[in-house]
Amino acid sequence: MKQLLFIVLYIISLVGVNLAQDVPLFIKTESATIGLPKVLVDRWGCSAADIDRNGWPDLFNNKWRGRLDSEIYMNYNGVFTDIYGNSPELRAAEWEGNATRTPVLVDFDNDGDRDLMIGFDYSHHMFRNDNNVFVNITQQLGLINKVPGFVTTYGYEQSAWIDWDNDGDLDCLVAQTNNPNFLFYRNDGDKFVDIAAQVGLTGANEMGSDGDRGFNTTRMQWIDWDLDGDPDLSAGWKLFRNDGGHLTEVSAAVGFLPFHRIRFFDWFDYDLDGDFDFFLCGYEDRDEVWRNDNGTFVNATQETMLDLFTDNGQASLNVGDFDNDGDQDCFMSINDHEDIEAMLLNEEEGGVRSFISIAQFAGFADLIGDRKGAAILDYDMDGLLDILSPSLDYGTLVYHNTGLTPPNNWIGFDLWGSKSNKDALGSLVTLYAGGKKQIRYTKAAQCWKMQDNPYVHFGIGKAAAIDSLVIRWPRGDVETFTNLEINQYHKIVELASTAVEKKKRQAPSRFNLEQNYPNPFNPSTTIVYELEQAQEVSVTVFNLFGEEIAKLVDQKQAAGLHRVVWNGMDQQGRPAPAGLYLYQLRTGQATLSRKMVLVQ
């Protein structure tokens, strides 16, 4: 059945353009062109956040085992610079710690930049960000790094951050392999105090022998699944309710009975009914979605056709609205060295929601090999969610999202707490637009070995405006905003008199690639582009599989406006078949891409 669906989709994509235009197209960008050199070392996971709060999402690309360096890439105007060498204390900890796990970027001290929690085989560490130099303050804060008795397998797996005691700063939950007790650090400013026993987490972590993969309840996320205004805990297959500061396991009581052997999970409102549902990637080729029906959970795996998806080797689960149509989709990095990446579009037809596998039509075809983990970040701030994935074979894979033709609309937000924690983690954000209600919950990290950029992003389809945005801040204050410009990121400061500030893209104004005209076209079309300086430049046409069809320009050109015509022929002078094509402008500093449609 799954293969039949793939064949039908493929045939339709060849004979018509309507479906092809409904699939977002991702282009594998040459990473070096945006400042990410091809460093071929063993990696596992990556984390994205705006570390220096300059309005551009940054990247922590972490190494796996051995005396190797991770990378800290700072982003400005869509180009990255590695600053890892500025932090010798971080390097010393990584070299001593062997395997690096789940770096989480959070502003624990509310000073306006993001700090780093990171773990290794037998320890976890806190690094304060002092002007983009990461300083080890683990002992100063009193973090506990004692191995719990005699164990053959042990390791820090993940931290998850929330303002548990509602005092305006972030507290930290930590899980470790073969430690039956979670560590729950209350942030008292100059010290972290373990309160796990006080809140009911003694003995709550499952023991196991899955080695470096941890065990199933070490996958953690804070989520207000019952929408009562306080943070609850999701830990693998266990679900805890916050009962006035005590965490009560309620899994069986609310029908929450997912598969136990969980690789990754996330909470999001896939069916747009106003509450958060649970999606998991499991071992044994098993993925599930559990629908939240007003606090009772129902297994919706079959009704959403998720049971048809059986790819093995999931190495991430990244949730976002990749096609900007108003509902959230799923990307999975696949690390079995045989299958391509996985992209599941969340589609609704006749009132029925389904997850449809479209990776081979979205630009991921034929790319196999080592890929371990991924992070969502709109690195060029164009409103289309891009994906970065670390790889031993490729260095850093950059999947640049070029969206749909014609594009859908979107809106995004960078939240700053003032009364609440600076990162505004634990905010419930509700958007009303185009007859839909969408919700998001701000969190860090998403799951094991991954953190997506915490900007709040909504696709709104063809809606020309939003009706309203409602933010319930972590400490309970509620603000409503209207008349916000779409196709724009906004900085919103909690309870500020001038709360909304547009975040303008600062990309060079004279490096530009226009939409071709006419489009669709037959037999020829004109491509217009602008260069800010004299430089080597290429303009190339690719098909959906990333194969080069025609090289239109490959030479040094002067600054200014340029035009080139494509006659619809391939390199051998043969007419190209009708369909969707990508044309790409590349210089030594940057790459821009757009789509065009050749018709019969």
Q: Same domain, yes or no, for 307 and 344?
A: yes
What percentage of the chain carries pLDDT values higher than 90? 60
The tokens of 515 are what?
Answer: 């939409």
Indicate the DSSP class of residue 447: B
Query: Hey, which residues does 212 pair with through a beta bridge?
Result: none
In this structure, the answer to whether residues 365 and 470 fall within a common structural domain is no
pLDDT digits (tens, 9 = 90+) for 13-25: 333 333 334 789 9
Contact 312, 327 (CB under 8 A): no
- Domain assignment present for residue 132? The answer is yes
**Domain shared by 80 and 225, yes or no:** yes
Do the domain assignments include residue 2? no
Say if residue 283 is in the same domain as residue 184: yes
The DSSP element (H or E) to which 43 belongs, if any, is strand 43-49
The answer to the question of residue 174 being in a domain is yes
- Provide DSSP, 367-411: --S-----EE--TT-SSS--EEEEETTTEEEEEEE---SSPPEEE
Residue 500 lies in a domain: no
- According to DSSP, the residues that pair with 175 across neighbouring strands are 158
Q: Is the pLDDT of residue 507 over 80?
A: no
- Residue 17: what pLDDT? 33
pLDDT of residue 431: 98
Residues 221 and 306 grouped into a single domain: yes
Residues 356, 245 share a domain: yes
What is residue 212's predicted lDDT score, i.e. its pLDDT?
47
- Is residue 286 very low, low, confident or very high in pLDDT (cuts 50, 70, 90)? confident
CATH number for the domain that contains residue 579: 2.60.40.4070
Mean pLDDT, the chain, integer:
88
Q: Is the pLDDT of residue 493 over 90?
A: yes
SS3 readout for 336-373: CCCCCCEEEEEEEECCEEEEEECHHHCCCCCCCCCCCC
Look at residue 578 and tell me if it is in a domain: yes
Does position 482 have pLDDT exceeding 90, yes or no?
yes
CA–CA separation, 193 and 458 (whole Å) = 37
Domain assignment present for residue 498? The answer is no
Strand 43-49 versus strand 450-451 pairing type: parallel
Is residue 63 within 8 Å of 42, Cβ to Cβ?
yes
CB neighbours of residue 554 within 10 Å:
11
Residues 446 and 578 occupy one common structural domain? no
- Answer whether 49's CB lies under 8 Å from 114's CB: yes
CATH, residue 417: 2.60.40
The pLDDT assigned to 152 comes to: 56
pTM of the model: 0.83
Q: What is the pLDDT of residue 137?
A: 97
Q: Residue 332 maps to which CATH number?
A: 2.130.10.10
DSSP state of 265: E
Share of the chain above pLDDT 70, in %: 91
Q: Are residues 231 and 154 in the same domain?
A: yes
468 is a domain residue: yes
Domain count, the chain: 3
The residue range of the domain holding 47 is 27-403
Looking at 427, 461, 493, the residue that finishes a domain is 493
Q: What is the pLDDT of residue 558?
A: 78
Which pLDDT tens digit goes with each residue over 210-256? 544 555 788 999 999 999 999 999 999 999 999 999 999 999 999 99
108-166 per-position pLDDT tens digit = 999 999 999 999 888 899 999 999 999 999 999 999 887 666 555 677 889 999 999 99
376 with 446, same domain: the answer is: no
Q: Is the pLDDT of residue 58 over 90?
A: yes
Q: Are residues 298 and 418 in the same domain?
A: no
Single out the residue in 381, 403, 425 at which a domain terminates. Answer: 403
> Are 286 and 350 found together in one domain?
yes
Within this chain, do residues 388 and 419 fall inside the same structural domain, yes or no?
A: no
> Is pLDDT larger for residue 521 or for residue 463?
463
What whole-number distance in Å separates Cα of residue 400 and Cα of residue 406? 17
At residue 539 the predicted structure's pLDDT band, cuts being 50, 70 and 90, is very high
Q: Is residue 20 part of a domain?
A: no
Average pLDDT over residues 410-423: 98
Tokens 């042990």 map to which residue?
Answer: 154
- The answer to whether the CB of 94 falls within 8 A of the CB of 105 is no
Q: Measure the CA–CA gap between 552 and 134, rounded to whole angstroms.
A: 46
